[in-house]
C-alpha cells in the first residue's frame, strides 16, 4: 500500500530539525569556542565530543523507552514532543554565554547547555528514526519516504549551514550575533520537530486501527515478573542487536565511518573559509556548493537504488565522494573558485551517503522483525543515533586534535591573529585527505552487507502472510 503524500511530507519535515541540529553545532560550535570565547582547540573539541559520548550513553535508553511507549500506547510521539519543546531553549542557551565570563567559565556554560540540547534532540531523533520501518513494509515505499526526507534534509543543511552563520555576520558584536543565530535557529528546529511528531497520528486518522502494511507489531515490553526493564537491560538489548544482526553491524560500521568523515569536514568548513579561502563568509558558498547539488541528486540516488539496489548505489556514491574529497587537497597550494565546483561533486555524492543508508536501515529492522520477532525497532534506532552522533562528535575531536597538533592559535572576540602555515595545512588535510581515507575504509564493512531486494520482499510477504493468518 502506498504512503499518502501528506504522511511522506510530514515525516520529511522532521529533517529540517535533524539536518539543522546535525549541521549547525558541528559547523560553528568549535569555531565559536576557539575564536570568540578563546577556548583552546583541544578543550573545544573535548566539549563537543563529551556531548556526543553522552548521546552514546542515553540513546539506547531512549530507544527502549520509545519501544515501551509504542507497546503501551501505540505511538512513539510523546518523547518526540518533549524533545521538540525543550530543544529550542537549550540550543539558544548554548550560544548565550555572557561576554563577561572568562574562557573557562564560558566553556563550562557551553558544555552544560549543549549536553541538555543533545539530550532533547535524542528524545526526538531516536523514535523518529524507528518510524519508517513501522509506517510501511514496502521496500520501494521506504526508499520513497527516505528520499523525501533527504531532499528536505539537504535543503535544511543549506539553510542552516549557509543562512545561520549569515545571521551572525551583520551584527557588529560577535556575542550578540551568535545569540541572534541561536534564537532564530532554535525556533525553526523546535517547530520542525513538533510537526513531524504527529505523523503517526495522521496515519491512524486515515486508517484507524491498521498496522503498517506487513510490519510486525511489538509485544508488550516487560521482564518475566512484569517489571519495567532496568537501564542495564537496555544496553544488553543493544549488544544483542549487534551480536545477532550481521546486516546491522555492516551497515552501522559503514555509516559511522562516513559520519566521522563528514563530521570532520563539517567542523573544518568554517576554518577553510576563514584561513584557506581568506573569507569568513565563504562558508555560506561552501554550503551552497555542497547542498545545492545534493537537493537535485537525492531523487537520482533513489532511482539508482530501485535500478541496481540500495547497497550498490551506496557504494557508488561513496566512491564519488571519496575522489572529490581527495582532490580538494590541492586548495592548499592553489585556493580559488574551482574549490566550489569540486565541492559540488562531493555534494551530489553526499545525497547518496545520506539517503541510501537511511533507506537500508528500515529494511534491516523489518527483516529482523520477521526472522527474530518484533519489538526491537527502538533499540536499532537508538544504536543508529548513537553511532551517528559518535561519528560526528569524533569528527570534531579529530579536527581539534589536528588544530592543536599543527599549532592553531585561539583568540577572544575581535582579536586579530595570524595562523602559522602548519595550522593552515592541518585544516586542509582535515577537510580533504582524512575524510577520503575514512570513506575508503567504510567500503570494507559495506561489502559485507548481505540483504538484497529479494530478501526484503520475501520477508515482507512472510509478514503479510502471518498477519492474515492471525
pLDDT digits (tens, 9 = 90+) for 120-136: 999 998 888 878 777 77
- Whether 31 is in a domain gets the answer yes
Point out the least confidently predicted range of 24-33, 290-299, 334-343.
Answer: 290-299
Q: What does the mean pLDDT of the chain come to?
A: 82
Residue 330 maps to a domain: yes
The answer to whether position 108 is within a domain reads yes
Task: CATH number of the domain at 315, please.
Answer: 1.20.1250.20
Angle at 394 between CA 389 and CA 397, to 5 degrees: 135
pLDDT greater than 90 at residue 225:
no
8 Å CB contact between 267 and 41: no
pLDDT band, very low/low/confident/very high, at 316 (cuts 50, 70, 90): very high
Q: Is residue 429 part of a domain?
A: yes
Strand partners of residue 37: 412
Q: Does residue 137 carry a pLDDT above 60?
A: yes
Angstrom distance (rounded) from CA 130 to CA 355: 15
Range of the domain at 411: 10-199+233-469
| Cα separation, 393 vs 219, whole angstroms | 34
Q: Identify the residue with better confidence: 385 or 204.
A: 385
434 in any annotated domain? yes
Residue 202 scores a pLDDT above 60: no
Residue 180 confidence (pLDDT): 92
Q: What is the pLDDT of residue 141?
A: 76
- pLDDT at residue 462, as a whole number: 61
Give domain status of residue 276, yes or no.
yes
Which of 149-153, 211-215, 324-328, 423-427 shows the lowest mean pLDDT across its residues? 211-215
Phi, psi dihedral angles at 411 (to 5 degrees): -155, 160
pLDDT at 331: 95
- As a whole number, mean pLDDT of residues 16-40 equals 86
Give residue for cell 502494511. Answer: 213
Q: Is the predicted pLDDT of residue 219 greater than 70, yes or no?
A: no
3-class SS string, 47-102? HHHHHHHHHHHHHHHHHHHHHHHHHHHCCCHHHHHHHHHHHHHHHHHHCCCCCCCC
Confidence at residue 212, expressed as pLDDT on a 0 to 100 scale: 46
| Comparison of pLDDT for 361 and 211, the residue scoring more | 361
Q: What pLDDT shows up at residue 351?
A: 86
* pLDDT tier, 218 (very low <50, low <70, confident <90, very high otherwise): very low
Kindly report which listed range (91-100, 229-238, 359-368) carries the lowest average pLDDT score.
229-238
Mean pLDDT for 250-254 is 92
Spell out the long-range contacts of 48-51 with Cβ–Cβ below 8 A and sequence spacing 24 or more. Answer: 48/114, 48/267, 48/393, 48/396, 48/397, 48/400, 49/393, 49/394, 49/396, 49/397, 49/400, 50/111, 50/115, 51/111, 51/114, 51/115, 51/117, 51/118, 51/393
Total tally of structural domains belonging to the chain: 1
pLDDT grade for 334, boundaries at 50, 70 and 90: very high
Nine-digit cell string for 192: 520542525
| 293 touches 341 (CB < 8 A) | no
Indicate if the pLDDT at residue 438 is higher than 70: yes
Q: Give pLDDT, residue 470.
A: 53
Q: 41-73 vs 377-405: helix axis angle to the nearest 10?
A: 180
Q: For position 216, what pLDDT does the model report?
A: 47
Q: What pLDDT shows up at residue 234?
A: 59
Picking from 121, 199, 188, 130, the residue whose alpha carbon sits closest to that of residue 159 is: 188
Lowest-pLDDT choice from 220-224, 237-241, 300-304, 368-372: 220-224
Let me know if residue 170 belongs to a domain.
Answer: yes
Q: Has residue 208 been placed in a domain? A: no
Say what the pLDDT of residue 375 is. 61
Answer whether 280's CB lies under 8 Å from 411's CB. Answer: no
Amino acid 214: pLDDT: 46
User: In this predicted model, which residue has the larger pLDDT, 104 or 137?
Assistant: 104
The whole-number average pLDDT for the span 54-70 is 80
Judge whether residue 209 has pLDDT over 60. no
Identify the pLDDT of residue 220: 42
336-393 pLDDT, tens digit each? 999 999 999 998 998 899 888 988 888 888 777 777 766 667 677 777 777 777 787 7
Q: Would the pLDDT of 333 be above 80?
A: yes
* pTM for the predicted model, two decimal places: 0.70
> By mean pLDDT, which of 369-378, 428-437, 456-465 is the weakest?
456-465
| pLDDT at position 236 | 72
- What is the model's pLDDT at position 283? 80
Residue 339's pLDDT is what?
94
**Percentage of the residues of the chain whose pLDDT score is greater than 90:** 29
What pLDDT does 232 receive? Answer: 61
Decide which of 240 and 201 is more confident: 240
Amino acid at each position: 500500500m502506498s504512503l499518502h503524500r501528506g504522511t511522506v511530507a510530514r515525516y520529511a519535515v522532521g529533517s529540517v530539525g535533524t539536518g539543522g541540529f546535525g549541521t549547525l553545532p558541528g559547523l560553528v560550535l568549535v569555531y565559536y569556542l576557539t575564536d570568540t570565547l578563546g577556548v583552546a582547540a583541544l578543550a573545544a573539541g573535548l566539549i563537543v565530543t563529551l556531548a556526543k559520548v553522552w548521546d552514546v550513553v542515553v540513546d539506547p535508553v531512549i530507544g527502549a523507552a520509545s519501544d515501551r511507549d509504542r507497546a503501551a500506547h501505540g505511538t512513539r510521539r510523546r518523547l518526540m514532543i518533549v524533545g521538540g519543546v525543550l530543544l529550542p531553549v537549550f540550543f539558544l542557551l548554548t550560544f548565550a554565554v555572557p561576554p563577561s565570563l572568562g574562557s573557562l567559565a564560558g566553556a563550562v556554560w557551553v558544555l552544560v547547555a549543549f549536553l541538555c540540547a543533545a539530550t532533547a534532540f535524542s528524545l526526538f531523533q531516536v523514535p523518529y528514526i524507528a518510524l519508517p520501518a513501522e509506517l510501511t513494509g514496502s521496500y520501494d515505499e521506504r526508499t520513497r519516504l527516505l528520499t523525501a526526507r533527504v531532499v528536505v534534509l539537504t535543503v535544511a543543511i543549506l539553510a542552516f549551514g549557509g543562512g545561520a552563520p549569515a545571521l551572525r555576520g551583520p551584527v557588529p558584536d560577535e556575542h550578540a550575533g551568535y545569540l541572534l543565530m541561536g534564537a532564530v535557529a532554535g525556533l525553526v528546529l523546535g517547530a520542525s520537530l513538533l510537526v513531524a511528531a504527529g505523523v503517526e497520528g495522521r496515519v491512524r486518522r486515515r486508517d484507524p486501527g491498521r498496522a503498517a502494511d506487513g510490519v510486525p507489531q511489538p509485544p508488550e515490553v516487560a521482564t518475566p515478573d512484569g517489571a519495567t526493564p532496568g537501564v542495564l537491560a537496555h544496553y544488553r538489548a543493544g549488544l544483542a542487536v549487534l551480536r545477532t544482526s550481521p546486516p546491522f553491524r555492516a551497515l552501522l560500521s559503514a555509516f559511522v565511518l562516513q559520519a566521522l568523515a563528514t563530521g570532520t569536514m563539517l567542523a573544518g568548513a568554517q576554518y577553510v573559509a576563514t584561513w584557506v579561502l581568506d573569507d569568513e563568509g565563504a562558508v555560506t558558498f561552501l554550503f551552497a556548493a555542497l547542498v545545492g547539488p545534493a537537493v537535485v541528486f537525492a531523487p537520482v540516488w533513489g532511482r539508482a537504488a530501485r535500478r541496481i539496489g540500495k547497497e550498490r548505489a551506496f557504494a557508488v556514491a561513496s566512491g564519488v565522494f571519496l575522489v572529490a574529497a581527495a582532490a580538494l587537497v590541492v586548495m592548499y597550494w592553489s585556493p580559488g573558485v574551482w574549490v566550489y565546483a569540486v565541492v559540488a561533486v562531493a555534494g551530489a555524492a553526499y545525497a547518496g551517503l545520506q539517503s541510501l543508508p537511511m533507506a537500508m536501515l528500515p529494511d534491516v529492522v523489518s527483516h529482523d522483525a520477521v526472522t527474530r520477532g518484533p519489538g526491537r525497532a527502538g533499540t536499532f534506532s537508538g544504536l543508529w543515533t548513537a553511532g551517528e552522533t559518535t561519528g560526528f562528535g569524533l569528527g570534531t575531536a579529530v579536527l581539534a586534535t589536528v588544530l592543536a597538533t599543527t599549532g592553531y592559535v585561539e583568540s577572544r572576540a575581535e582579536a586579530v591573529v595570524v595562523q602559522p602555515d602548519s595550522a593552515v595545512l592541518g585544516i586542509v588535510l582535515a577537510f580533504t585527505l582524512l575524510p577520503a581515507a575514512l570513506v575508503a575504509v567504510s567500503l570494507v564493512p559495506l561489502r559485507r552487507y548481505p540483504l538484497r531486494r529479494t530478501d526484503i520482499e520475501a520477508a515482507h510477504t512472510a509478514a503479510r502472510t502471518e498477519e492474515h493468518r492471525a
